[in-house]
Structure 1
Amino acid sequence: MIRRIVLVAALIIGAALAFLSYGWWGKGPTTEESGVIVAEGTTIGALGRQLAEDGQIGISPDLWRFNARLFGGGDPIQAGEFTIPPGMSAADILDTLQHGRPVQRFVTIPEGMPSVLVQERVQATDLLTGEAPLPPEGTVLPQTYSFQRGDTRAEVIARMQEAMSDTLEELWPTRTSRSVVDTPAEAVILASIVEKETAKPEERRMVAGVYSNRLRIGMKLDADPTVIYPITKGKPLGRRIRRSELDDVNDYNTYAMRGLPAGPIANPGRESIAAVLDPEETEALYFVADGTGGHIFANTLEEHNRNVAKWYAIRRERGEM
């Protein structure tokens, strides 16, 4: 009699284990790749209901919760977006959510991008939600940012602005005696001009040195990008600057005013900010394009005029004049 009871008990236990094994470790019901988004603070029980409703597990939410606690090892569930391959078992889904790498998506803001284009880029980024606000010029740090499906566009832009604030706080103590900016806000304004004037990283400190020299002696900056900014808000002008635009008196036209413009003309990158805080030690006051994407620098107006003549000759050869 005892043997029969033991045998029956063993059969029942075996059947229960087989049932658990099939439902937990057996092939899942999905036939194609799917995704699951786990919100911060989601419980095992709530996750089971979510997976069952989405057809990603073939067991009940209660059985999911029981097995997860029995076999899950107690490791926490990660928040984020995860990819679920076709037929993934409930056990493997739990392991993925505990130890897998969440899906990462990225949006890149290039150095020197104006805020109006930052707004457009974030607005056009799929899988974000809500409207993208227009950040004030110079408040976004250009770099690559990760985001998850369902993040709001406002949250992503806020992270970009926080990164700029953190960078300014980090770099400001590196300001040297050669720097002419008195506040972080002035550093961003001057850095935005440096960013728009040269595409070569190795020239940033030299361009910053030239503009620092001009500001120090009260000379006008004569920076073309500052003339363009009020016209396009930082977007490409698409044509040559007109004489009337060079003569126009406004808070940004550094051909018609001395000192820094009223605000940044773009969102400068970390290296341009660092350049205006520690500009090159130089006597140069002028620079002009050299035909290779860089610039040639000069200490005197006479030398600069010769360099300009060479640049015009290059442009005539190219049919640009």
Structure 2
Amino acid sequence: MKKKIFIGILIICCIISFSIYKIYNFTINEKETVIYIKEGSSLWEVSRNLKENNIISSDKYFVLYAKLKGFEKKIKTGKYSLPGKIKLQELLEILEKPSVEYVVMTFPEGYNLYQIAFKLEKNNLVNKEKFINAGLDILNKNTMVMEREYVFYQLEGYLFPDTYHIPIGSSEEDIINTMFNKLQDVFSQEHRMRAEELGLTINEIITIASLIEKEAANDKERKAIGGVIYNRLKIGMPLQIDASVIYGNMKGTGNISRVTYDDLKVESKYNTYLFKGLPPGPIASPGKASIEAALYPEDNDYLYYVLGENGHVFSKTYKEHLQNVNKYIKNKTSK
């Protein structure tokens, strides 16, 4: 009797062990998956990276397995294309081989497409003209943006500003998709629902966010500027945002330090002095804080703002605004 019980337990243990082996000892990604392992990543960080990319079932099991197999300090930095459904042993053997060299590139919030392309070309990664003129058909997974009229570049505003590890030899398409996918990750389902609640398209939200990004002097005032933009839109008042005028006049390829009266006369859909409402598309790549300011603006009564000593000074009436202009702008020019 005891012998039968022992055999039964042994069989159960074998079944459990075999099940664990099938679940944890193989990768779970069905298709080839590309991952990036940053310099200085610990075994735990690598394991979490693999888990977040749906390559392994258990990050804890992977760490234990890698340690037992002596791979704890053998995993190399770089980009890896990992086949689907392979053994953990094979995965570790791939990760210990030197990978493709990459360039670390940081694109600040507020960079426009031309600036991004210029920086990439300067590092011999892309052809600038090919990059900025790419269409939406280049995107592998697009749930955000549709073709729009009057914009200079369809991808303007949709490449998220961040630090990227770009493998040498990447194509324009590879880099564009990496940056666009990052924006799609940042622009959450909650953000999409909020845009619907506001009665605005994603393009309109990204456009407002780009205006906030270019106008805000610091993080604290982003939502206040968002409130001004919504207040002006609500009463049909021209936005009168210089950054949009400059973008339109320079076609997104340059900057000018000061807007003149002649600049304000140029017939352009981006001229927010001549045309009411939003420009046809974003004028730069907004960061997460500006996107959230566009979605959740400050509820205020301000219609004007002018750059003061420590950021913008806001006012509700044109009379107050003129007083602030005299105080901060004219005093500066007279010094």
- TM-score, normalised via structure 2 length: 0.61
On the 8 A contact 1:189/1:260 being kept in 2, the answer is: yes
Query: Matched residues in 2 for 1:285 and 1:154: separation?
Result: 41
2:301 counterpart of 1:303: no
Aligned ranges 1:72-91 → 2 under 5 Å: 73=69, 81=78
1:313 alignment counterpart:
330
Q: Tell me, yes or no, if the aligned pair for 1:171 and 1:274 is still in contact at 8 Å.
A: no
Aligned to 1:291: 309
Distance 1:181 1:137, change over 3 A: farther
Query: Over aligned residue pairs, what C-alpha RMSD do you find?
Result: 3.4
Equivalent residues of 1:114, 1:233 under 8 A apart:
no
Deviation at 1:122, TM superposition (A): 1.6
CA deviation string 1:276-313 (max 9, x = no partner): 10000111110001033x10000111111100111223
Q: 1:187 to 1:148 in 2, by over 3 A?
A: same
Number of equivalences:
235
2:161 alignment counterpart = 142
Q: Judge conservation of contact 1:129–1:150 (CA < 8 Å) in 2.
A: no
Residue 131 of structure 2: SS of its match in structure 1? coil
Going from structure 1 to structure 2, the CA distance change for 1:180 and 1:102 (only over 3 Å counts) comes to same
Do residues 121 (structure 1) and 138 (structure 2) align? Answer: no
What is the Cα deviation at residue 245 of structure 1?
A: 1.8
Once residues 208 and 129 of structure 1 are traced to their aligned partners in structure 2, the CA distance between those partners, rounded to angstroms, is 35
Matched, 1:254 2:272: yes
Tell me the distance in 1 between the aligned counterparts of 2:302 and 2:220.
Answer: 16
Are the aligned partners of 1:174 and 1:277 in contact in 2 as well (CA < 8 Å)?
A: no
1:243-278 CA-partner distances (Å, limit 9, x unpaired): 122122321101001100111111111111110100
- Cα distance change of structure 1 residues 130 and 297 upon mapping to structure 2, 3 Å threshold: closer
User: What residue number does 1:111 align with?
Assistant: 109
Alignment of 1:183-222 (within 5 A): 183-222=201-240
The 3 A distance-change label for structure 1 pair 133 and 156 is same
1:61 aligned residue? none
Would the alpha carbon gap of residues 180 and 150 (structure 1) be closer, same or farther in structure 2, given more than 3 Å must change?
A: same
Q: Structure 1 residue aligned with 2:183, among 155, 161, 164?
A: 164
**Structure 1 match to 2:52:** none
Amino acid at match of 2:177: A
Q: TM-score, normalising length from structure 1?
A: 0.64
Pair 1:81–1:247, CA change in 2 (3 A): closer
Alignment of 1:217-236 (within 5 A): 217-236=235-254
Offset of residue 226 of structure 1: 1.1
Residue 133 of structure 1 aligns to a residue in which SS? Answer: helix
Partners of 2:158 and 2:181 in 1: how far apart? 8
Partner residue of 2:262 out of 227, 244, 250? 244
How far residue 175 of structure 1 moved from its aligned partner, in angstroms, is 2.6
How far residue 105 of structure 1 moved from its aligned partner, in angstroms, is: 3.8
Supply the distance in 1 between the matched residues of 2:230 and 2:272 (Cα, whole angstroms).
Answer: 14
Asked if the contact 1:229–1:252 (Cα under 8 Å) also holds between the matched residues in 2, the reply is yes
Aligned residues: percent identity?
32
Distance 2:256 2:222 in 1: 24
Contact 2:156/2:282 (CA < 8 Å) preserved in 1?
Answer: yes
Report how far residue 125 of structure 1 moved: 2.4
